[in-house]
Amino acid sequence: MGCGTSKMKVKDQVVKICTVSEIKVQPSTFVVENEHKFQEVYKLGKKLGSGAFGDVKLCFHLTTGTERAVKIFRKDLAIDEDKQKLLMNELDILKTLDHPNIIRVYEFFEDSMRFYIVMENCKGGELFGEILKRQNFNELQAAQIMCQLFSAVSYLHEHCIAHRDIKPENILLEEQGDISNIKLIDFGASERFTKGVPIEGTLGTAYYISPEVLSGTYNEKCDLWSCGVILYILLCGRPPFDGKTDEEIIENVKRGKFTFKGEIWRTVSKAAKDMISALLCPASTRLSAAQALEHIWMTRNVSVASPHPDLMQSALTNLQRFEASNKLKDAIRAFITTQCLSLKDTKSLRDIFIAMDTNHDGKLSRDELMEQFVKIMGAEAADEEVTRIMAEVDTDNSGFIDYFEFLKATMDQKVLVSSENMKHAFDAFDEDGNQSISAQELKRMLEGKATSENKVWSTIIDEVDKNGDGGIDYNEFQEIIVSHL
């Protein structure tokens, strides 16, 4: 793909839709190229950072006022095909990810000069900056950070994605000085892998790269080496493998020799040192992310704050009330969940999700739901209720409630029906702006690259088209949501 007039190509999963019941709305459904000009949808704010290909800036959605960040890639700085491949790869992977500790991407734009990727705005800056400010962290603080990082990495590896460039510069804090909510970013170097098949290609950053990556053949556990380096730095303020140049650092990485010498290590627990040693070791014996979450140092030091009982009760009640039977209503909720909610909107729900996710794998199991519902009803009633909830909320039939599914089912009803969010959603579905959503517009919005019968979409229209004009106007659109509250 050359610069200037080239178009951005992002992979889409192809499915065949024959009936309304087969429509599956995922977090990636609405992460598409916006055909409008970026300036018609967002107002640019101050610069947040810069990189090799362009800047990261603050931006504000013109309809909702929502604050976001946008990565702006200048094509004249990214004319190399390999560099553009990294950009395509980042977007292709990011749009599929659904985890509270992984940055969310909303949409992307392209014009003759630039690519724009719109994402969550994390105001706290890089973990790297926090390390420079604090110098080092105590074990409780380090474990809080590492639990979130291991959870994100475990999620990635379960979905056969290796990040390959985990470092403090690629970890953001949602709020200034708050290490309780971090986000893993920058998936340009990420790679989809097949279990048991070696990954190839030397990518990464000198301080954090694993020895086997330098040798050219490795697996996803390269990410765990990087995590081990980060943990070492968190506890003592300096890297385990140092040097005056990248070449010198890399030679020290290849040797793999590090120490726990120095005054600061005298107060660090044996369990913490064992954790580091179990990460900075040969890949064949290195912990997986899931195993790291179960390490004794983690279990001793990680505690999740209990949400306010009223907030937990509200979330559980919303789970009980949620119904996914109306496909258009479900799609509207999904759009608002993925495209309209700010970090502020989701904060309390995110905290509840994390509290319920007792094994930190980034999803809720049936057992984890049972643990909450047996507290408010008998075991037999809870078993029946959880079975029903799983059937309604687990819309992708994964056997778990994913983060997106949880937010969609538990979001505050006032947020759902706010005039800003309803207008944003209606305008997105009403592609031609004629104030009526047609069957073809529904098809383009929800079908993706799939093939489907036209009757699937006309059936949805017929269910809600009260005035019989063959489309869905704004009042009918609102009624879909409001009538089911």
Is residue 440 one of the residues assigned to a domain?
Answer: yes
Confidence of residue 6 (pLDDT cuts 50, 70, 90): very low
Whether residue 135 sits in one domain with residue 111: no
Whether residue 323 sits in one domain with residue 393: yes
Whether residue 115 sits in one domain with residue 137: no
In Å, how far are 120, 278, 392, 394, 395 from 409, measured between CA atoms? 21, 39, 9, 10, 11
Whether residue 290 sits in one domain with residue 260: yes
Question: What mean pLDDT is predicted for residues 449-468?
Answer: 77
**Residue at a domain's end among 119, 137, 171:** 119
Whether residue 158 sits in one domain with residue 111: no
- Work out the percent of the chain whose per-residue pLDDT is above 70: 93
Whether residue 52 sits in one domain with residue 165: no
Active-site residue, 165 included: yes
95 is in an annotated binding site: no
User: Considering Cα of 371, then 376, then 381, then 384, what sign does the dihedral take?
Assistant: negative
Q: Which domain holds residue 109?
A: 16-119
| 17 phi/psi in degrees, rounded to 5 | -110, 115
Is residue 27 one of the residues assigned to a domain?
Answer: yes
Tens digit of each residue's pLDDT (9 = 90 or more) over 227-251: 999 999 999 999 999 999 999 999 9
Amino acid at 310: D
The confidence score (pLDDT) of residue 439 equals: 86
The confidence score (pLDDT) of residue 468 equals: 86
**What's the CA gap between 118 and 69, in Å, rounded?**
6
CATH code at position 28: 3.30.200.20
Whether residue 280 sits in one domain with residue 237: yes
The pair of structure tokens assigned to 346 is: 């989701």
Whether residue 250 sits in one domain with residue 152: yes
CATH code at position 184: 1.10.510.10
Tens digit of each residue's pLDDT (9 = 90 or more) over 171-218: 999 999 999 999 999 898 899 999 999 998 888 899 999 999 999 889
The confidence score (pLDDT) of residue 451 equals: 58
The confidence score (pLDDT) of residue 418 equals: 87
The confidence score (pLDDT) of residue 38 equals: 95
**What's the CA gap between 420 and 123, in Å, rounded?**
23
Confidence of residue 378 (pLDDT cuts 50, 70, 90): confident
Whether residue 231 sits in one domain with residue 195: yes
Question: What mean pLDDT is predicted for residues 458-484?
Answer: 84
Is residue 1 one of the residues assigned to a domain?
Answer: no
The confidence score (pLDDT) of residue 16 equals: 52
Whether residue 354 sits in one domain with residue 294: no
Whether residue 327 sits in one domain with residue 243: no
**Residue at a domain's end among 94, 119, 144:** 119
Is residue 200 one of the residues assigned to a domain?
Answer: yes
Tens digit of each residue's pLDDT (9 = 90 or more) over 17-37: 556 666 778 888 888 888 889
In Å, how far are 9, 48, 55, 320 from 116, measured between CA atoms? 14, 14, 10, 39
CATH code at position 392: 1.10.238.10
Is residue 7 one of the residues assigned to a domain?
Answer: no
DSSP per-residue string spanning 69-120: EEEEEEGGG--SHHHHHHHHHHHHHHTT---TTBPPEEEEEE-SSEEEEEE-
Give the Cβ contact number of residue 430 at 10 Å. 20
Is residue 175 one of the residues assigned to a domain?
Answer: yes
Question: What mean pLDDT is predicted for residues 120-127?
Answer: 93
Return mean pLDDT, the chain.
Answer: 89
Place of tokens 């996710």: 357
Tens digit of each residue's pLDDT (9 = 90 or more) over 380-426: 999 999 999 999 999 888 999 999 999 999 998 888 888 888 998 99
The active-site residue out of 165, 345, 351, 357 is 165
Count up the domains in the chain and report the number: 3
The confidence score (pLDDT) of residue 450 equals: 57
For residue 434, the Cα-to-chain-centroid distance in whole angstroms is 34
Tens digit of each residue's pLDDT (9 = 90 or more) over 43-97: 999 999 887 678 899 999 998 888 999 999 888 776 567 777 778 888 889 989 9
